Amino acid sequence: MKRFGLIGHPIAHSLSPALFRAGYSGKYPYDLIEGEDFGAAFRRFMDSYDGINVTAPFKELAFAKADILSEECRLTAAANIMVKTPSGIKAHNSDYLGIRKWLEDEAVPRVRQTASGPTVLVAGCGGAGKAAAFAAASLGLQTVIMNRDIVKAERIAASSPGMFTVRPLDAFPESFNECGIIIYTVPSAIPALDSIAQQRVGNLSAESPRIIMEANYRNPAFTPQYIMKLQNAWPATYYAGGRTWLLYQALTGYEILTGEKPDLAKMHTCL
């Protein structure tokens, strides 16, 4: 029987085992392979598993260890899926694949009616933010990236000339007003969030469609109280939390791991 798992540290809180069991009705084992030593976790994968998910802090190490890189891995320089193949270990990035599918399925259709077309704002340029930025740009969407360390954002933009506009993180309120799709990957709330509900500048009106995706599902910056306040000021705002991110990541990633489509309805119920 094929075996799969997740490596990272810490991962005891992970929802991935429950999602995987739901997606395949318990057909395959899926284990948490936790530890601070990537080398030891990778050896366990090689000895006992057919494919693994990879989470923080090992995505760049997984990228470096792979024999074969998918195109999205080449773009993001990170991997969160490793699969054994006859030609070696192949790496994929389902942060990229999942967000790209979410943009196509949910986000872009909601904001397409804006006159200038959807513009995507990606806040945070860590692994998740970088993957989201390249996913948005791959769909031909205008993409703005920002980060606490603006030099990091500028390096990403310089690596792919013409794909991104770079702005400082302090410009988040103004950029929020101007962009129809906001992907928030900063691991905590930034001070600029407090002023968004009072802002009335930019190209989009309060009634314009606006959709927010946040990567963090454990300690989100967009709390229910904050979302309510935001929607009072921006009635057409729709929020998709980190569990939606996780669901789309699982939907695209698990099929790569197993070669079989998971049951999306059962995974959704699990969350």
Q: Write out the catalytic residue numbers.
A: 59
* Residue 157 near residue 164, CB atoms below 8 Å: yes
d(CA 220, CA 74): 29
Side-chain half-sphere CA neighbours of 115 within 13 A: 4
d(CA 108, CA 80): 25
What are the tokens at 60?
A: 């760049």
d(CA 139, CA 142): 9
d(CA 186, CA 214): 8
